[in-house]
Amino acid sequence: MTEPLVSRMRAFGTTIFAEMSALAVRTGSINLGQGFPDTDGPAAMLDRAVEAIAAGANQYPPGPGVPDLRHAVSEHRSAHYGLDYDPDGEVLVTVGATEAIAASVLALCEAGDEVIAFEPYYDSYAASIALSGARLVAVTLRPADGRFTFDPDELRAAVTPRTRAILVNSPHNPTGTVFTRAELAVIAELCQERDLIAITDEVYEHLTFDGVEHIPLATFPGMRERTVMISSAGKTFSVTGWKTGWVCAPPPLVGAVQTVKQFLTFTASAPWQLAVTYGLRHELDWVAALRSGLQDKRDRLMEGLTSAGFEVFRPSGTYFVQTDIRPLGFTDGLELTRKLPALAGVVAIPTQVFYDHPERGAHFVRFAFCKKDEVIDEAVARLKRLP
Ligand SMILES: *Cc1c(COP(=O)(O)O)cnc(C)c1O
């Protein structure tokens, strides 16, 4: 048989996470690659999911999502950001943020349109854009004063008459950058000047450190009407396996996304929706404790990686620390991460796989710190033995 995979997906083999996680298992290495927590979400919220199944919440929920969850999402947006979304018509529940992103791109971008994303970018962006037939245009985030940021002129120059949308992920995976008000203002101004849709991936909205505030792009003047705001329960409540996310946007945008979403999955699983409703209403103190615990873990891993010889960038949010491997005498992160299990018994992710211009990220390696302290300590002890 000739290659069965459609040509537009051929560049997307298995993800680096599959390769590196398999390597971790095969070599018995500590896995600081994939970003999933090794502790559970709030117990009462987990109980709600069990109770929901026992109580019979096992058939199709409404397509847009369980009404109670749509209300809880709306209340949460309003309480945290002063953004009002009508739970009936401006909130759509999805199968994680991943489906929300895919459905948004498929619904809003024609073949031949251009979509801007900041590189390094979350790997599903490129695949979703490729599926739609649109083209990803990458604007590079580069280190400046210890954090990754973009050059406003480079961003402006990336917009063409074919640009339809800009994908904005803040807090940003994998760099840990939380865009400042000034950075977001540049993006907001450009969206309005050039009539672009903003698709915002805010899955780490609650995981920011050092008092740094997450500011949704939709809160900027003129932006609510052109922003598809996406978040999810996975990172907020340490339930990455629940795949429960949501889209908030004005009716024309959310309606478009829903049209596509209903034929991808029709609806998201019922028990998780009920449990996440409870989480949004009752477990935000738990999330605050998660945030401060993660900040300590960040400091722990940063200190360890620094003493092991890496150059380390301080993330203001997410689960990830970005490092430069050149002080250790290495230049290629992909080569190093493939050897790292043998050299040190640790698995990490080569950041270059998240670039359209891999050479720009060749010397960066990403480590996850959403792990138990003893796991971080053991990983650091092993990395310190690197030659
Ligand atoms: C984890 C993650 C997602 C996916 O979220 P799900 O709710 O699990 O689909 C999307 N974007 C970024 C940046 C992520 O890190």
Over the stretch 194-234, which tens digit does the pLDDT of each residue have? Answer: 999 999 999 999 999 999 999 999 999 999 999 999 999 99
- Rounded distance from Cα 348 to ligand 1 centre (Å): 18
What pLDDT was estimated at residue 15?
A: 83
Whose alpha carbon is nearest atom 7 of ligand 1? Answer: 96
Q: How is residue 91 written in tokens?
A: 């909130």
Angle, in degrees to the nearest 10, between helices 284-307 and 373-383: 10
* pLDDT at residue 142 greater than cutoff 90: yes
The residue-averaged pLDDT of 281-309 equals: 98
Spacing, Cα 368 to ligand 1 middle (Å) = 14
pLDDT band at 35 (very low <50, low <70, confident <90, very high): confident
Q: What is the mean pLDDT of the chain?
A: 97
| % of the chain residues with pLDDT over 90 | 95
Radius of gyration, CA atoms only, the chain: 20
Q: What is the mean pLDDT of residues 182-200?
A: 98
The CA 98 to ligand 1 mean position distance, Å, reads: 6
Nearest-atom number in ligand 1 for the CA of 232 is: 7
Rounded to two decimals, the pTM is 0.97
Task: Return the ∠ at Cα 257 (arms to 192 and 127), rounded to 5°.
Answer: 90
Mean pLDDT of 8-13: 89
pLDDT at residue number 179 = 98
Say what the pLDDT of residue 2 is: 86
Return the closest-CA partner of residue 269 out of 53, 37, 104.
53
Pick from 101, 106, 28: which is nearest to 263 by CA?
106
pLDDT of 387: 77
Residue 133: per-residue pLDDT? 97
Q: Does pLDDT of 69 surpass 90?
A: yes
Q: How far does residue 235's CA lie from ligand 1's centre (Å)?
A: 8
Q: Where are the alpha helices (DSSP H) in 194-283?
A: 233-236, 251-264, 270-282
What is the mean pLDDT of the segment spanning 77-106?
A: 98
Residues with Cβ within 6 A of ligand 1? 96-98, 122, 169, 173, 201, 203, 232, 234-235, 240, 243, 245
Residue with tokens 């945290």: 80
pLDDT at 34: 87
Instruction: Give residue 266's pLDDT band: very low, low, confident or very high (50, 70, 90).
Output: very high
Instruction: Give me the domains of the chain, ranges plus CATH numbers.
Output: 7-41+285-384 (3.90.1150.10), 59-282 (3.40.640.10)
| CA gap 359, 356 in Å, rounded | 9
**Region 32-49 average pLDDT:** 95
Which residue owns the Cα nearest ligand 1 atom 2?
A: 203
